[in-house]
Amino acid sequence: MRVFLLACLAAVLIGAGSAYVLNGGYFPNASSAVFSTKGVRI
Amino acid sequence: MPTSASLRVFVAALMLAVAAAFTVPPATAQQPTQVNPTAQSVKEKELLKELQRIQGRSTLPDTRTAVLEQPGRDWRQFQQVTLRWIGAIAILGMLGLLVLFYLIRGMVKIENGRSGRTLVRFSAFERFVHWMTAASFVVLALSGLNITFGKELLTPLIGPVAFAEWSQWAKYAHNYLSFPFTLGVVLMFLMWLAWNFPSAADFRWLAQGGGIVGSKHPPAKRFNAGQKVIYWVVVLGGGAAAITGYLLMFPFYATAVGGYTVGTTDIAAVQLAQMVHGIVGLLFIAIMLAHIYIGTVGMQGAFEAMGRGEVDVNWARQHHSLWLEKEAQKGHVRGSAPAE
């Protein structure tokens, strides 16, 4: 159970980390940058 | 000569009469009673079929903005009809088969009962990777099914506003949980590769129904042929889903790198990626249902392998006798044998 919970926590943390990176303007024009349009260029 | 002159006058008069007859429309044509202005016009479908795309010129840096209409009807048909049929048949078909199989075969029991002795089947790290991938996969599967079936199935139940809100969060989850899923697939590929090459024992295992169909329990190493199939489905299917998924997440990077295109346009590459992603995802879900079944209600003692990490010796002897022999030689079996 402990391993399972740790695995779920890791999934959430990695997911949240990727959301932070993808919405940080490092990848403008990425369709996954959904929270913000900051840095999006036409 | 007067005769010749008269003849010329007559012929000229005749030509004028004929010309007049063809140039003056009949009275009925001048006053039409029914007009169909689009009768001879080119239909949009015919135009697209002929031209495939309608493109102009644009001064914007992004040349794709010059495309006014592009191919997409086939993709829409696939997305709205074909993919749904594939998914429904694969998933409902698998569920039906599993229910039928359970009713016929029931749970595969540990025939000699539990021995009380155990051995480690999966380390804590292996279980961590498995559950990280599995947890991500469950969310990916549900949010992916929502993309294909959600609008038709959920909107009548929860209404369009709630469906839109749920779908938006499901899309976020689908995008971002792809990263732990992909990491998990890569780690599983690396840490279990050595045990997943086909061997002669696999063919004997398959020929005897793997101990699932029938009553025989063919010898198997750490992973039997069925588990190897699951492994390669996860590695190859997960890999294909990840690659096509990232093409969809980064459409203006990957499909434009080095002028890379599939078909005639960048959009065609995105459409192809979506089609592959949809098919692989739905088949992946169907196959994982079988994996979940055999790891839970389908086989006694199987869940412990990925739950606690340890399995009973009698379970190992029944399903992985060759692996048990090696582990026993290494002294990895714990506990003492029950008194005779």
Measured between beta carbons, which residues in chain A are less than 8 angstroms from residue B136? 11, 15
The distance from CA B121 to its chain's CA centroid, rounded to whole angstroms, is: 31
| B240, pLDDT greater than 80 | yes
Buried b (16+ CB within 10 A) or exposed e, B8-45: eeeeeeeeeeeeeeeeeeeeeeeeeeeeeeeeeeeeee
Please check whether residue B279 lies inside any domain of the structure: yes
Q: Residue B60, by phi and psi: left (phi above 0), alpha (psi -120 to 50) or beta? A: beta
Cβ atoms B277, B244 nearer than 8 A = yes
Please check whether residue B66 lies inside any domain of the structure: no
CA distance B239 to B255: 18
pLDDT digits (tens, 9 = 90+) for B141-200: 999 999 999 999 999 999 999 999 999 999 999 999 999 999 999 999 999 999 999 998
CA distance B127 to B187: 11
A10 interface with B at CB cutoff 8 Å:
yes
CA distance B88 to B80: 12
Residue B73's identity, in one-letter code, is R
Closest CA relative to residue B89, chosen from B291, B285, B245 = B285
Which residue would you say has higher pLDDT here, B182 or A30? B182
Please tell me the distance in Å from B249's CA to the nearest CA on chain A: 5
The distance from CA B45 to its chain's CA centroid, rounded to whole angstroms, is: 29
Q: Which of A21-30, B50-59, B269-278, B318-327 has the lowest mean pLDDT?
A: A21-30
- Which residue from A10, A19, A27 is facing B132, i.e. has the nearest CB? A10
pLDDT digits (tens, 9 = 90+) for B254-285: 555 444 454 444 677 788 889 999 999 999 99
CA distance B204 to B198: 11
What is the rounded average pLDDT of the residues B137-143? 97
Question: How does residue B339 score in pLDDT terms, banded at 50, 70 and 90?
Answer: very low
Q: Taking CB atoms and an 8 Å cut-off, how many pairs form between chains A and B?
A: 72
Q: Which of A21-30, B258-267, B331-340 has the lowest mean pLDDT?
A: B258-267
Question: How does residue A24 score in pLDDT terms, banded at 50, 70 and 90?
Answer: confident
CA distance B229 to B16: 88
- Contacts of residue B148, Cβ cutoff 8 Å, sequence gap at least 6: B79, B83, B84, B87, B278, B282
Overall size of chain B counted in residues: 340
Please tell me the distance in Å from A20's CA to the nearest CA on chain B: 10
Q: Give the per-residue pLDDT at B115.
A: 92
Q: Which of B28-32, B111-115, B188-192, B199-203 has the lowest mean pLDDT?
A: B28-32
Q: Give the per-residue pLDDT at B257.
A: 47
The runs of H, that is alpha helices, within A1-42 are: 2-22
Query: Could you count the other beta carbons within 10 Å of the beta carbon of residue B166?
Result: 15
Residue B196's identity, in one-letter code, is N
Q: Which of B115-124, B152-161, B200-209 has the lowest mean pLDDT?
A: B200-209
Rg (CA), chain A: 14
Q: Which of B64-68, B83-87, B224-228, B261-265 has the lowest mean pLDDT?
A: B261-265
- The overall average pLDDT reported for chain B is 84
Q: Give the per-residue pLDDT at B265.
A: 47
| B304, pLDDT greater than 90 | yes
Q: Give the per-residue pLDDT at A1.
A: 84
Q: Which of B31-40, B122-131, B271-280 has the lowest mean pLDDT?
A: B31-40
Please tell me the distance in Å from A29's CA to the nearest CA on chain B: 7
Domains in chain B: how many in total? 1
| B18, pLDDT greater than 90 | no
Strand B333-334: give its sheet, edge to edge: B310-312, B118-120, B333-334
Look at residue B18 and give its three-state secondary structure. Answer: helix
Question: How does residue A40 score in pLDDT terms, banded at 50, 70 and 90?
Answer: very low
Query: Could you count the other beta carbons within 10 Å of the beta carbon of residue B76?
Result: 10
A8 interface with B at CB cutoff 8 Å:
yes
Return the percentage of chain B with pLDDT > 70, whole number.
Answer: 79
| B307, pLDDT greater than 90 | yes
Q: Give the per-residue pLDDT at B248.
A: 86
**Phi, psi for A22 (deg, rounded to 5):** -70, -25
Cβ atoms B222, B195 nearer than 8 A = yes
| A29, pLDDT greater than 70 | no
- Contacts of residue B61, Cβ cutoff 8 Å, sequence gap at least 6: A42
Q: Is the dihedral of CA B205, B283, B309, B108 positive or negative?
A: negative
Contact B249 A30 (CB under 8 A): yes
- Contacts of residue B330, Cβ cutoff 8 Å, sequence gap at least 6: none
Contact B131 A3 (CB under 8 A): yes
- DSSP-based helix, strand, coil % in chain B, nearest 5: 70, 5, 25
A21 interface with B at CB cutoff 8 Å:
no
Question: How does residue B133 score in pLDDT terms, banded at 50, 70 and 90?
Answer: very high
CATH number for the domain that contains residue B162? 1.20.950.20
Which residue would you say has higher pLDDT here, B73 or B319? B319
B interface with A, Cβ–Cβ < 8 A, is: 60-62, 124, 127-132, 134-136, 171-173, 175-181, 183, 248-253, 309
The runs of H, that is alpha helices, within B193-259 are: 200-207, 225-232, 238-249, 251-254
Within 13 Å of residue B110, how many CA atoms lie on the same side as its CB? 18
